[in-house]
Structure 1
Amino acid sequence: MDDPSTIEKGGGTFQGIKLLLCENPLPPIEAAIDAAVDEVPRSNYYTEPHSKPLRTLLAEKLDVPEENLHVNAGSELILRQLFDRFGKHVHLLTPTYPLFPEIAERYTETRLRPEDDFRYDLGRLEVPDGTTLAVIVNPNNPNGGTFDMARLPALLEGHPDTRFLVDEAFIDVAGESVVDLVPRHRNLLVTRTLSKAHSLAGFRVGYGVFPKSVAAEFDRRNDAYPLTRPSQAAAVATLRHEETIRDRIDRLRAWREEFATEIEALGVRTFPSETYFFLADFAPHDASEIASKIRERDIYVKPLDDARLGSGFMRLTTARPAENRQVLSALEELL
């Protein structure tokens, strides 16, 4: 029997409709698939050290020096290493990506409130004394809203001894990137991934935009060949077709809007999102009970399990329209 935690990470054998992992329901673009297939026969050779072709392309597209970039096998690995290195005392804006409370040595938090639709003005953020790592997820996970990042430079300058980590896993879907600030601020760290908007979750391609000293340190401490040849080829090919990616993002956001509207029609409260996932409150129903019953119909969802928000909260990711209709039909019967 599969370990539930493994299934939740996407490594299980569940073959139904999965709405819990923020996976992109669209497959990699054809150019990425073709590029990966072409590299398979050359998989007896390593890639270039530190994925130089990909780093060079990223530096060009992001307009930052290549020395500020670190590439690795998925952004989760990078995030775990950042927390190991800098996360002695973490400050989080919660609810947040569930990995962060799990891997922080200890943390304080600023709560985002449902009555404010989880919106928050970063100009109000109070960073506790002694914080070594303050984390901002933009767009935020689990609700899909964005922050006004114009407030970030003042935070960086006002807290020079605190490193600020901005996790931009969904920045290609919505929001304002801050990678251009990294070369000017020694305490800013930005992580990004090709798993979400670019549909390369299974290829495991993540990267960080760090001060040069941090990027060099992470390169030294990690595998010099972090990506497989097919993964690197798929990443490069995908980044060369950003117009196609943007068109797909528009489609995903339209599907999410339609899906959330139909969920609301069932009497469920949903919260504003700019991504292809959203947060819903099924109260007075218990999200855990809904998740258990709906899985019997080959639909995998996961309750938020945030006691302070209540038992009704669940994050939902849009699937394709036909699959969304199956989910809606199942929920209509249950509710």
Structure 2
Amino acid sequence: MTIIMEKGGGTFHGIKLLLCENPLPPIDEAVAAAGAELAQSNYYTEAYSAPLRRLISEQLGISERLIHINAGSELILRQLFDRFGRQVHLLTPTYVLFPEIAGRYTETRLSPEKGFAYDLANLAIPTGTTLAVIVNPNNPNGGTFDMAPLPDLLCRHPETLFLIDEAFIGLAGESAVHLVPKYPNLLVTRTLSKAHSLAGFRVGYGIFPEAVADDLNSHNDAYPLARPSQAAAMATLQHEDKIKARASQLHAWTEELAAQLRSMGVSTFPTETYFFLADFSPYDASGLADRLRDRNILIKPLNDPALGPGYMRITTALPEDNRRFVDALREIMAGV
């Protein structure tokens, strides 16, 4: 399954330029909070992660009943697709998991000629669509959508559930969370793996209509998080000012890296996050990735046939690792 590569590099210990992992470690407060809970790990957390659920409710201004917490957002997404994903509509290119787990899917292609930007007011939902998915900011290009047309889409297609995957909302973009209580066909998922640097702690949550939230809460383990994970999540959410500052730093490194690639003749596309798409044509992205791995640098080609073999998704690493990547890439491209 291609989603395995989406998770990073497992035990790979070189430079990782994959999308899923933030190159910055958890904030100090999260590490301290998790450490303080280790000695209590013989005890479960509170049922349904009640303290974390309460904190999310307070921060978002959403009823606790609408919140479902689980061990990473992928598990939540898989369950939503299992329940509602008989006929899915995607804006592509998109998160690699979604085409894998959809029963069937149609797609609206985002155009590289427009920098992968798209006006949702123009989105046509095919008849029979059970689940329409919008990733904001979008994965894999890092751009955001203007969400102003969403209420009209929800009203025009009451029989279609709309899933807004906000995995990267801590980096950029306008959230749709506040609309969930108003629309029974709106689902929003989030994770603390990205902007919040907690991928290894496995913390995801969703904001859903009561019926969906009740169903997921009643059909999952009532104790989904380890005590250190819950503590790290709460500590991190209580320091969103630090997360926002780090997001700005990550984006600055990303823009610098993209500029270096453009100076080498590589086409890059606009992003508001810490990752972006690049077109290395006429070079083959798979071949470049293989040669980079030989140099202990892990990256992956996009492998989207509609875009061609030159596309690569790149996430920023730390500046010194970015320099090593650029130097290695320059040597490889010169020798191909």
TM-score, normalised with respect to structure 2:
0.97
1:19 matched residue in structure 2: 17
Aligned-pair distance for 1:213? 1.1
Partner residue of 1:95 out of 93, 96, 103: 93
SS of equivalent to 2:90: strand
CA contact (8 A) 2:19 2:275 kept: no
Give the secondary-structure state (helix, strand or coil) at the position aligned to 1:323.
Answer: helix
For structure 2, the residue ranges without an aligned partner over 5 or more in a row are: none
Partner of 2:39: 41
Tell me how far 1:82 sits from its aligned partner: 0.3
Residue 295 of structure 1: how far off its partner (Å)? 0.5
Native 8 Å contact 2:27 2:236 kept in 1: yes
- Alpha-carbon distance change, 120 to 323 in structure 1, aligned in 2, over 3 angstroms: same
Aligned with 1:150: secondary structure? coil
Change (3 A) 1:179 1:33: same
1:123 aligned to 117, 121, 131, which one?
121
Q: How many Å separate the matches in 1 of 2:253 and 2:123?
A: 33
Map of 1:274 onto structure 2: 272
Counterpart-to-counterpart distance in 1, 2:5 and 2:139: 19
Q: Which amino acid is 2:195 matched to? A: A
Question: 1:303 is matched by which residue type in structure 2?
Answer: P
| Mean Cα deviation higher: 241-250 or 162-171 | 241-250
Question: For residues 303 and 244 of structure 1, what CA distance do their matches in structure 2 show?
Answer: 32
Residue in 1 that maps onto 2:304: 306
- Counterpart CA distance in 1 for 2:11 and 2:250 is 25
Task: State which of 172, 175, 182 in structure 1 corresponds to 2:173.
Answer: 175
Does the Cα contact within 8 Å between 2:167 and 2:190 map onto a contact in 1?
A: yes
Pick from 49, 56, 71: which aligns with 2:69?
Answer: 71
What is the distance in 2 between the residues matched to 1:182 and 1:8? 28
After the TM superposition, which residues 102-117 of structure 1 pair with which residues of structure 2 at under 5 Å, given as runs? 102-117=100-115
For residue 286 of structure 1, what is the amino acid of its counterpart? D
Query: Alpha-carbon deviation of 1:334?
Result: 1.2
Instruction: Describe the superposition over 1:150-196 as per-residue Cα deviations: whole angstroms up to 9, x where unpaired.
Output: 00000000000000000000011000001000000000000000000
Q: TM-score, normalised by structure 1?
A: 0.98
Aligned ranges for residues 113-192 of structure 1 at < 5 Å? 113-192=111-190
Task: Judge conservation of contact 2:8–2:16 (CA < 8 Å) in 1.
Answer: no
CA drift of 1:4 comes to 8.7
Between 1:8-17 and 1:308-317, the stretch displaced more is 8-17
User: Deviations for 1:10-40, whole angstroms, at most 9, x for unmatched residues?
Assistant: 3622100111233110000000000000000
Letter in 2 for 1:300: L
* AA in 2 matched with 1:107: Y
Superposition map of 1:288-303 within 5 A = 288-303=286-301
Alpha-carbon distance between aligned partners in 1 of 2:288 and 2:20, rounded to the nearest angstrom: 19
Q: 1:158 to 1:6 in 2, by over 3 A?
A: closer
One-letter amino acid matched to 1:232 = Q
Structure 1 outlier segments of 4+, above 6 Å: none
- Taking the aligned partners of 2:2 and 2:53, their CA distance within structure 1 comes to 35
| Alignment partners' CA distance in 1, 2:153 and 2:2 | 39
Query: What 5-or-longer segments of structure 1 have no aligned partner?
Result: none
Secondary structure of the structure 1 residue equivalent to 2:167: coil
Q: Choose the corresponding residue for 1:10, options 1, 8, 14.
A: 8
Mapping 1:254-273, distance limit 5 Å: 254-273=252-271
State the Cα deviation string for residues 197-247 of structure 1 (Å, max 9, x = none): 000000000000000111011000000000000000000000111111111
The CA RMSD over aligned residues, in Å, is 1.1
Deviations 1:101-132 (A, max 9, x none): 00001000000010011000000000000000
Letter of the structure 2 residue corresponding to residue 203 of structure 1: F
